[in-house]
Amino acid sequence: MAPTGEQHLLSTEIVNNGIELSGPDAGSLTFSVRVRRRLPDFVQSVKLKYVKLGYHYLINHGIYLAIVPVVVLVFGAEVGRFIKEELWRTLWDSASGYDLVSALAFSCVFIFTLTVYFLSRARSIYLIDFTCFKPDDDLKATKDEFIEMARKSGKFDEASLEFQKKILESSGIGDETYVPKSIMSPEKTATMKEGRAEASVVIFGALDELFAKTRIHPKDVGILVVNCSIFNPTPSLSAMIINHYKMRGNVLSFNLGGMGCSAGIIAVDLARDMLQANTNSVAVVVSTEMVAYNWYPGRDRSMLIPNCFFRMGCSAVMLSNRRRDNSRAKYKLEHLVRTHKGAHDASFRSVYQEEDEQRFKGLKVTKDIVEIGGEAIKTNITTMSPLVLPVSEQILFFTTLIKKYISGNSKSETSTSTLEKSWNNAPSSSGTKPYIPDYKLAFEHFCIHASSKTAVNELQRNLGLSNKNMEASIATLHRFGNTSSSSIWYELAYLEAKGQVKKGDRVWQLTFGSGFKCNSAVWKAVRRIKTPSDHNPWLDCVERYPMAAHSQFSQVNPLT
């Protein structure tokens, strides 16, 4: 019997706990059932409406590319006939000016179409360079040191400490991540003073390196976008940056808050829109999160989980729409697709900031986060596929889709059997499995948000990726932990440190977070990225990877 949708989402494990010692069931064996939640199996369900949405994006962006070839063909045929038969005679013979008028008319149409195309075409967005902040070594903490700091703070009972220890052991996080020393203080850490202090260290550290790398003066920056989900002081973090670097008075600044781990790509999207509206401009995007300000000192286990995963980190990205920057840029933005599931109550509350019974503030993570996140990821990937997949993969995809539709119609006479319902059903109804495209044909490199080992393993399984494809995500989680919205940039820095990015390579950045949101960005390398000599957080440890990280990931991938 084919598995049901619920069986795809959940796996169970029966554990023998021993023998009941007392009570009415004394002498009998006791068992417990562990339910392991998994991402929805992408192979078994794809929503057609999101495939159609992706093609809608493709058609909207390609309408002028479809018109120009037609005009060129018509114009070329007319000019060819015109030259062959009577070009010179018409030019000098005023009595026969009809064909000249026709040629001029076609020329005007051709020039007008080209003008409309170039004026309507979105400006190319170049990524000049980026940096990822690496804290000082005195902020490093092993997993044991982390638990010891939590114990010294006096804020947790032994049950809470033991729970955090178990989470850390299975998290995929290594022993060199960075945490603020203030978390061991018995005093309250979620203060504006602590938040501003941590923000100054990570943000200014990343920006100092960025301006040194790009040799662009802060006063030349026309657009500034800062995203930090939890810590949002007044004046804003963007104002703090402007004040520190004495930026010009007409800089367009934006501060994004409460948007979770996927805010890094949202910030890039906002910067792209602003660059499209402001010619000859440079934009800086800063993505970070404050660990100490987000530290939860209570006992609610669903709110203790973020304590175990989030670590210090910050990224700073320099974008430009200036054509002269093409020669010095590293990447060009190809596509950006955003998905938001906040209209559904369960998705909206899957990661929710609130106070517990003791009035301690923290992030509450629901048990359904894996399934909810999986639905958002599936929607985003399905929408993006028509924009990035080669034609051969799309033909195979739609061939399977049509086969399933025909097979479904032949076995069902109900009037409600639509194409989308047929596609969403398990394959047992028709015997035809959906064809999931090979995304390795669309991208050379993958930077998937390193939120946890479970999420990384499940995405690897669903997308059919190898350990090599997931290497950057696995290594980043192990070395730096979950740095929230900046994690995808640590992953890209890893690929550069390994010298793996060549000219023409496509990089897929996939992020997901509270809301619930999932966002994708596709970058194309405009030149070979040489192994950096400085300003890369991986330079002192990259030779130890991937083995240092893979040793802690229990999943064995047959695709490797």
Tell me which residues are annotated as active site: 261, 340, 445, 449, 478, 482
CA–CA separation, 502 and 500 (whole Å): 6
Nearest Cα to 486, choosing from 216, 200, 238, 131? 131
Task: Specify the 3-state DSSP secondary structure of 218.
Answer: helix
CA–CA separation, 362 and 364 (whole Å): 6
CA–CA separation, 499 and 530 (whole Å): 6
Q: Which residues contact 270 (CB under 8 A, 6 or more apart)?
A: 225, 254, 256
Nearest Cα to 449, choosing from 282, 265, 211, 243? 265
CA–CA separation, 34 and 11 (whole Å): 8
Q: Residues 11-21, buried b or exposed e (16+ Cβ, 10 A)? A: eeeeeeeeeee
In contact, 459 and 178? CB cutoff 8 Å: no
The three state secondary structure string of 61-115 is: HHHHHHHHHHHHHHHHHHHHHHHHHHHHHHHHCCCCCHHHHHHHHHHHHHHHHHH
Type of residue at 53: L
235 preceded by a cis bond (ω within 30 of 0)? yes
Nearest Cα to 382, choosing from 474, 518, 497, 222? 518
242-245 contacts: CB < 8 A, separation 24 or more? Answer: 244/200, 244/204, 245/207, 245/211, 245/218
Q: In degrees rounded to 5, what are phi and psi of residue 233? A: -80, 175
β partners of residue 509: 447, 521
Q: Residues 358-389, buried b or exposed e (16+ Cβ, 10 A)? A: eebbbbbbeeebbbbbbbbbbbbbbbbbbbbb
Query: In this structure, are strands 126-132 and 29-37 parallel, antiparallel, or unpaired?
Result: unpaired
431-435 contacts: CB < 8 A, separation 24 or more? Answer: 431/407, 432/400, 432/403, 432/404, 432/407, 433/43, 433/44, 433/400, 434/43, 434/44, 434/45, 434/46, 434/400, 434/401, 434/404, 435/396, 435/397, 435/399, 435/400, 435/401
Query: In this structure, are strands 445-448 and 506-513 parallel, antiparallel, or unpaired?
Result: parallel
Type of residue at 462: N
Burial (CB < 10 A; 0-12, 13-18, 19+), residue 488, is: buried
Length of the chain: 560
